[in-house]
Amino acid sequence: MKKIQFNVDDVMPRLAQVVRLVNARHTMPILADVLLETKRGAEGVTYLMLTASDNETWLSMKAPLMDGEEGVALCVNAADFNTAVANLRSLNLVMTIDEEHHSLTCDYGNGHFQLPYEDATVFPRAEVPAAEDTTNMMLDGARLATLIERTNFATSTDDLRPLLTGVRFDFSDNGTVSAASDAHKLARYLDKTVKTDTGVKMGFTLPKKPSTFLTAILANYEGSVRVAFNQRNAVFNNKEFRLVTRLIDGRYPNYEAIIPYDNDIKADIDKDAILTALKRTLLMANNTSELVSLTFMDRQVILTAVDDDMGKAASESVECDYDGGQLTIGFNGTNLGLVLRSINCERVRLMMKGSASACIMRPVEDEDGSEYLAIVMPMKIS
C-alpha cells in the first residue's frame, strides 16, 4: 500500500479550482474524476499534481505534500473527493491507496472516509503542441489576466457562430491585442508592452471557458506565464499550474475594420454616475428589448426607459461634458452596462456619429502602455 500526507489547507484551494472544470454532464465516466499524481520536482521535493478535464481543456495544479512517495497515480470522483476534503479544513490528511481493492482511505485523526478509485491510465491526456510547429511566448501573468478580463465579457453565447464564442489574441511587433465580439458589442484591448520581434502577426482564438479559468487562476499567482500554441492547441504554463486547451478553429473576423474611426461627436461622463442612473432606469425598460435611450443636450444626458405594455417608465439626467446639438441614441441596457463596467477609468468618453451608428466607448485617459475601446451597436427607437 502506498501513502501520502498533506495538510488540507495546502491542497483545498487548488482542488476547488480544478474540480470546477468538471462538467455535470460528460461523454465519458472518467471525466467525472480528478487525477491525483505524485511527482518529484527539480528541487527533489515530491508534490501532488491535481488534474481535471472536460476533454477540451485540461487544468493541472501543484500542491505541496507533507510526506509521500513518488509515482502515485489514481483517479477519484471529483465531487465526492472535493466535498469530503472541504469539510476537513486545517487538518492533516493521510491517504492510503489499496491497489488490490482499488480503494482510497483518507484518515484525519479522529475519523476517516473511503472512496473507490480508477486507474490513472484511463484518464484522457492533453494533446500538447509539438515543438516543431509551436510558437512560444512569455507573458506577465497580470498582463495576461488584464488582456482577458477587458474583453471576455463581449464574447458570444451563440453556438451557431463558434468563432465569436472566444477571445481573439493577436501578437505583433506593435503589441498584443485581445478582442471579443458577439455582433452587438465589441471590446478591444491593446497592450503595447507585449511585443514580438518576428515582424509577423500571429495569434489564436481562445474559448471562453478556459479564458475564464485563466483569469481566476492568475488572480492568485504572480510571475510569468509561458504560452505555447499552434493552430489546434494552446498551453499556458508556469511553476504552479498548467492549462492545455483546444483552440477555436477558423479565421476570426477583422475587428479593426468595423471600428468607426470617424465618430466626431463626443461626450465625457462620470462612469459611476451613468452606471447608477442606468441601473435605476433599466428596471422600467421592456423586458424583451431592454431598450434605454440616451438623449444628449447641453451639459447633460437624459436616460429614458419605457415599457408601454406594462405602463412603466423612468427618466434620469446625468451631468456630462457635451456641447453639441441634441442627439438621442438607444442601446440595449444590459450591453451598455457591461461595456461601461469594463472601462477602467473614472470618466468615460462616448464617441458617436449619429443615432443609427455604432458608438465607441473608451476611457478618457488610457493607462500607460495600453489602449482600450469598446463598441455598442445602437437600437432603433420607436
Domains 2-122 and 260-376 share a fold: yes
* CATH superfamily of the 131-257 domain: DNA Polymerase III, subunit A, domain 2 (3.10.150.10)
Strand pairing class (265-270; 312-321): antiparallel
- Candidate from 120-129, 152-161, 246-255, 302-311 with smallest mean pLDDT: 120-129
What topology does CATH give the domain 260-376? Answer: DNA Polymerase III; Chain A, domain 2 (3.10.150)
Each residue of 248-297: pLDDT tens digit?
Answer: 999 999 999 999 989 999 999 999 999 999 999 999 999 999 999 999 99
Distance from C-alpha of 55 to C-alpha of 33, rounded to nearest angstrom: 12
Distance from C-alpha of 281 to C-alpha of 265, rounded to nearest angstrom: 24
pTM: 0.91
Q: Which helix (H) or strand (E) holds 273?
A: helix 271-282
- The listed range with the strongest mean pLDDT (68-77, 220-229, 272-281) is 272-281
Distance from C-alpha of 50 to C-alpha of 16, rounded to nearest angstrom: 10
pLDDT band (50, 70, 90) for residue 367: confident
- The answer to whether residues 194 and 171 touch, using CB atoms and an 8 Å cutoff, is yes
Distance from C-alpha of 188 to C-alpha of 201, rounded to nearest angstrom: 16
DSSP 65-131: -SEE-TT-EEEEEHHHHHHHHHT-TT-EEEEEEETTTTEEEEE-SS-EEEEE-EEGGGSPPP-PPPG
* CATH superfamily of the 2-122 domain: DNA Polymerase III, subunit A, domain 2 (3.10.150.10)
pLDDT band (50, 70, 90) for residue 324: confident
Distance from C-alpha of 16 to C-alpha of 19, rounded to nearest angstrom: 6
pLDDT band (50, 70, 90) for residue 304: very high
Share of the chain above pLDDT 70, in %: 100
Using the predicted structure, report yes or no on whether residue 11 has a pLDDT greater than 80. Answer: yes
Cβ neighbours of residue 242 under 8 Å, at least 6 residues apart? 58, 59, 60, 235, 236
Q: Tell me the average pLDDT across 221-250.
A: 93
As a whole number, the mean pLDDT across the chain is 93
Domain residue ranges in the chain: 2-122, 131-257, 260-376
Q: Angle CA(339)–CA(343)–CA(345) in degrees, nearest 5?
A: 150
